[in-house]
Structure 1
């Protein structure tokens, strides 16, 4: 049957025809992209792409094969690789619609939530890399259903729970990488069924303490076995002898004990052996090392090995040998120097004797040599940098003697030179002073002589010069002023002469200047006030004369001032009243006049000894004058009264004029306060604050701005932080985003009401400047009080009160703020003390708000924090988490218990956390507790120390939450037994279940 006839229509008008053509063209363009491209466009819509890396995913293209990160074969997508692309959002499950997709790499992004079980629909995947993201929850048991999966990398996420039993069913898997998650339960023995595995890396998870499973010997194809920090005890089982393809064995940070495992010598393919940070002991085997002909890297550091370094071991063509922190004795074998591959040799913290091998460095490109804190002696070999690649030369605390080899001056690769505490002598070759890449030059406590060379101008990267405790003579070369990066210059206890060169005052970053114990003379130049970053000035025991310049009072962050043992005369300058000094010593000079009232305190009692003409203060009364002087003083007083009256009249008139002027032109103030916001009922206004900000009132300066002390008209003191000004030329969008972030932070901080957090009174803006007004804390910071001459005032009950107060403040930030706040710069200098030494957390200049959707973490562009306090995973991953704060707080606890700074030369290359951990393990508590603390409190001190050790655990998952820390400290305060066994992991604590929802995720 023919189709019915349709009624005829008139042809469209020309405008309608044109519109129809355009519509058809548009439809054709949108439909030209194939199905795989359409699927990828849908995936793009589910992701957040702040960097615009997917901007070339254009729906107008025919196929996605030329898009960024997309690889095709025969016009079919086979690979999606977008590492480090800043992408956020859930796992793009739509990828499984691509039928030929075999490789997915989305590592180092911000993908979050869980991985859905439907990932098994990606049937053709051979490689899946989702490392360094924010994934959490359980591992999908369906992953093993992907039949051809060869490579699976899920490290650096927040997966928890046990590894699924189904993971034992992988058919072709060769690499399984689950490092640094929150996996727990028993070690997954089921994985030993996957005999195709070549790489098994499950390090840094939380498995129950247990011996190494002997079933691992079934992995006959295994080449890389990384099982660090898996809570293993005992020793390596004999079944490992079957792992004949094993080249890399890493078992560091476990609790392996007993002698060196003999089964190691049966692993003939072994290339790298890492057993550091265990409890192995006994002598290292003298023989059988030749059974390991391919061994190139070995690290047995931080154990308790004794005896000598095996000669047979040193005959291997080693690349890296690390035996530090043991109890080794004897000589360093000469055969070690013959290795053609040796670039890394670290033997520090042993009891080795004798000289360095004569040919060390002549046969290999040595890059790192650290033999500090041994009993080595003899001259330094001239061949150390023969290959021109030596970067780290660290020989602290030995008895090396003789002159420095001239060849070191030709070693342009050197970056760190630490030769202190030896018996080296002679003149330092001029070329050594000017090495272009050296940033730390430490020659202290030797027998060096001669001059500081003018060639030092070539050391453009020098930030630390430490030459104290030698016999250097002559003056300081003017060329030192060209070292724009110099932070510390320590040259005490030498025979240096002359004056302080004017070029010194060009060093804008100089923080420490120590010229004590020399023969300097002349006056202190008034330009001293230009060193705005100077924190420590020590000119003691020289021949300086004249008056102490008032400009020293212009140094805003000066904390330590020692001018004792000189010939200064005149009055103590009034400018010193501007400083907040923790340590002051003006003793043994020729000073006269009154002692300033600001320093008439017990803590400064010994600061003025040996100045018989000083009066007032600790001398109680100024000496009596004769009658003529008395009459003269009476006339002088009369003149002063008359002059003061005139000044008073003028001052009152000026004040009335200014007051009326301000009232009449308040809306047109030259200061132009654009925004003023208060968070409490205040008795002052913004103009009173701003007018009191001058350089004489600066009490601190840091990366985020300056801090002023302002005394208001009502007598109240406040602390005002003036944030560094933003450039008015910044990009409009970026600047707007930054301003929004500032507003958000201020709003949240303004709502904080907690007794252990410094109160934010108000904030205001003036032009590009921003001001935060905080309550003023009269007793300064914990760091200043603990590490200055006032440290002895801190008895244990006060220290305990401070640490508990600070813990409660941090616990509030982590658990009671919405969203939670991560401080990011917890340190003793940011814990301030009120009149009664109550502790309050301060300085939120780098604090971050962690959105709940981010599982308690956020990526940062740079590391914030202070050296010695930064958690190891934060410095590596740049990812913020409450656990980072907890690590830093643990260091604060160690400071309180030990009385030591977080970084101290006595620790060598270690920090306080490493030193305490190692010393407690090897020698016990008594070797770290501050000797100033009373013995009666030892039990409680040890309990608190154990809490600190928990907080500095290498694995973030093993650190307690701040709520748990508070509970444990309160338990210790009750003088009862801790319910948690402190030397075990926090997850055995009775508080763990209570706080399980608060555990921050490491990502």
Structure 2
């Protein structure tokens, strides 16, 4: 009990520190924003002190209320707790959240339970564009039949409650355009039915867990947050049709495993990050992709000729990078191309078919490159300075995505013989540290850095 008391005090102080920082940001950054939002964060963090995130008993159910089944009673508790966590509801959307008939509440949708079609349960919540301010209470975990949770374009803040792990049937989750904070909510990884994840336009930060790309999702929207991470090498394991990672602070390589997404991927957008290295040739395997946008990054090298195999491509944007070389004719000949933008790079030439794109109704932009005879290009000095430094794509150590059967290379036979001789030597005790250093040195050279 004494240890639990210490933990409780520590969490309380941690919550109050966050509360102070949030209030300071509120006062300095947006004087007009209500202070209730920051108070809600402190109130929400206080609930985290409860052991194992048990549901706090903040809602007293009137004994005179009658519910058709226990699940609707739980839904009543969850929705009343949420209503009490709302500090502003300018359109009075939750004004009719009164009484036992939760299925009549605005934004609440009921349907027959999947495991018992004879009873009604709360299966969906849609409060999109309601401009509601508040936070998400732990009690929302009582909505165990929820399949759809849409709260985009509101002013919800704070963190995603850990109790969301109980929403085992959740299929669509849209929390975009709010004021949620903290690291990526790992509770999303534990949702077995989740297919659609949209948390864009919030203030989430830190890294995305690599497990996100192992989930059987159809869409991932995490753009316009404050994430800082290298795109995991298992990106290609994801079966999504759409992935948008734009407007964060991503760095490193675009993994070559992206080629493994050919069967499902339709759109990938990673614009306005800090990605570097060369574009992997494996992107040419993405024959179903219609939108490929890597603009406003720091990619170098040439434009892979393999892009000519992206026969479904409609929107291709590689602008505002540090790419160079020639624009291949096969890319400009793509049959479904609608927009091809490669401005603000260091390309030195383009095929005649590229200049003919406007005659096909294709929008293209080649300004601010190093292409002789074209208008609005970079100065000779800029081009000469940049192009004098050759690009070595291998120097970025962007490793190929390992296949399940790929093994680390074995030590060469002469290395093994040398090690056996050393082991048999009578002075082994004295030279053991050097053996370990030697083996580690060889393994470092032979095993690719992940």
Shift of 1:288: 11
Shift of 1:554: 2.3
Shift of 1:490: 0.5
3-state DSSP of counterpart to 2:275: strand
Going from structure 1 to structure 2, the CA distance change for 1:526 and 1:290 (only over 3 Å counts) comes to farther
Going from structure 1 to structure 2, the CA distance change for 1:544 and 1:305 (only over 3 Å counts) comes to closer
Going from structure 1 to structure 2, the CA distance change for 1:316 and 1:476 (only over 3 Å counts) comes to farther
Aligned to 1:591: 371
What RMSD, in angstroms, separates the aligned Cα atoms of the two structures?
Answer: 3.0
- In structure 1, distance between residues paired with 2:366 and 2:96: 57
Aligned to 2:257: 479
1:798-809 paired onto structure 2 within 5 Å = none
Going from structure 1 to structure 2, the CA distance change for 1:290 and 1:612 (only over 3 Å counts) comes to farther
3-state DSSP of counterpart to 1:425: strand
Going from structure 1 to structure 2, the CA distance change for 1:454 and 1:366 (only over 3 Å counts) comes to farther
Aligned partners of 2:282 and 2:306 also within 8 Å: no
Aligned to 2:305: 526
Instruction: Compare 407-416 and 464-473 and name the one that shifted more.
Output: 407-416
Aligned partners of 1:321 and 1:345 also within 8 Å: no
* Residue of structure 2 aligned with 1:427, choices 197, 207, 213: 207
Aligned partners of 2:274 and 2:297 also within 8 Å: yes
**Structure 1: which 5+ residue stretches go unaligned?**
1-286, 299-303, 325-339, 596-607, 614-1003
Aligned to 1:399: 179
Is 1:441 aligned to 2:208, yes or no? no
Aligned to 1:454: 233
Aligned to 1:349: 129
Aligned partners of 1:465 and 1:488 also within 8 Å: yes
Aligned partners of 1:552 and 1:575 also within 8 Å: no
Larger Rg: 1
Is 1:557 aligned to 2:336, yes or no? yes
Shift of 1:465: 0.6
Shift of 1:290: 7.0
Is 1:540 aligned to 2:334, yes or no? no
3-state DSSP of counterpart to 1:551: helix
Shift of 1:498: 1.2
Aligned to 1:798: none
1:593-992 paired onto structure 2 within 5 Å = 593=373, 595=374, 608-611=375-378
1:240-319 paired onto structure 2 within 5 Å = 293-294=67-68, 306-307=91-92, 309-310=94-95, 313=98, 316=100, 318=102
Aligned partners of 2:229 and 2:250 also within 8 Å: yes
Shift of 1:506: 0.9
Number of aligned positions between the proteins: 290
3-state DSSP of counterpart to 1:450: coil
Shift of 1:514: 0.3
3-state DSSP of counterpart to 1:361: helix
- In structure 1, distance between residues paired with 2:337 and 2:295: 17
Going from structure 1 to structure 2, the CA distance change for 1:464 and 1:322 (only over 3 Å counts) comes to farther
Aligned partners of 1:488 and 1:510 also within 8 Å: yes
Going from structure 1 to structure 2, the CA distance change for 1:452 and 1:289 (only over 3 Å counts) comes to farther
3-state DSSP of counterpart to 1:545: strand
**Structure 1 residues 783-814: Cα deviation after superposition (integer angstroms, max 9, x where no partner):** xxxxxxxxxxxxxxxxxxxxxxxxxxxxxxxx
Aligned to 2:243: 465
Aligned to 1:323: 107
Shift of 1:317: 7.7
* Residue of structure 1 aligned with 2:269, choices 490, 513, 517: 490
Going from structure 1 to structure 2, the CA distance change for 1:416 and 1:531 (only over 3 Å counts) comes to same
Going from structure 1 to structure 2, the CA distance change for 1:382 and 1:529 (only over 3 Å counts) comes to same
3-state DSSP of counterpart to 1:471: coil
Shift of 1:573: 1.5
Aligned partners of 1:524 and 1:544 also within 8 Å: yes
Aligned to 1:511: 290
Going from structure 1 to structure 2, the CA distance change for 1:305 and 1:401 (only over 3 Å counts) comes to closer
- In structure 2, distance between residues paired with 1:576 and 1:522: 19
Aligned partners of 1:318 and 1:341 also within 8 Å: no
Aligned partners of 1:317 and 1:342 also within 8 Å: no
- In structure 1, distance between residues paired with 2:100 and 2:369: 63
Aligned partners of 2:144 and 2:168 also within 8 Å: no
* Residue of structure 2 aligned with 1:566, choices 345, 349, 352: 345
Shift of 1:305: 8.6
- In structure 1, distance between residues paired with 2:272 and 2:143: 39
Which gives a bigger RCO, structure 1 or 2 (Cα 8 Å, sep 6+)?
2
**Structure 2: which 5+ residue stretches go unaligned?**
1-60, 77-88, 109-119, 381-450
Shift of 1:457: 3.1
- In structure 2, distance between residues paired with 1:308 and 1:531: 46
3-state DSSP of counterpart to 2:138: coil
Shift of 1:341: 4.7
Shift of 1:422: 1.0
Going from structure 1 to structure 2, the CA distance change for 1:320 and 1:577 (only over 3 Å counts) comes to farther
Shift of 1:360: 2.0
Going from structure 1 to structure 2, the CA distance change for 1:378 and 1:435 (only over 3 Å counts) comes to same
Q: What TM-score do you get using the length of structure 1 for normalisation?
A: 0.27
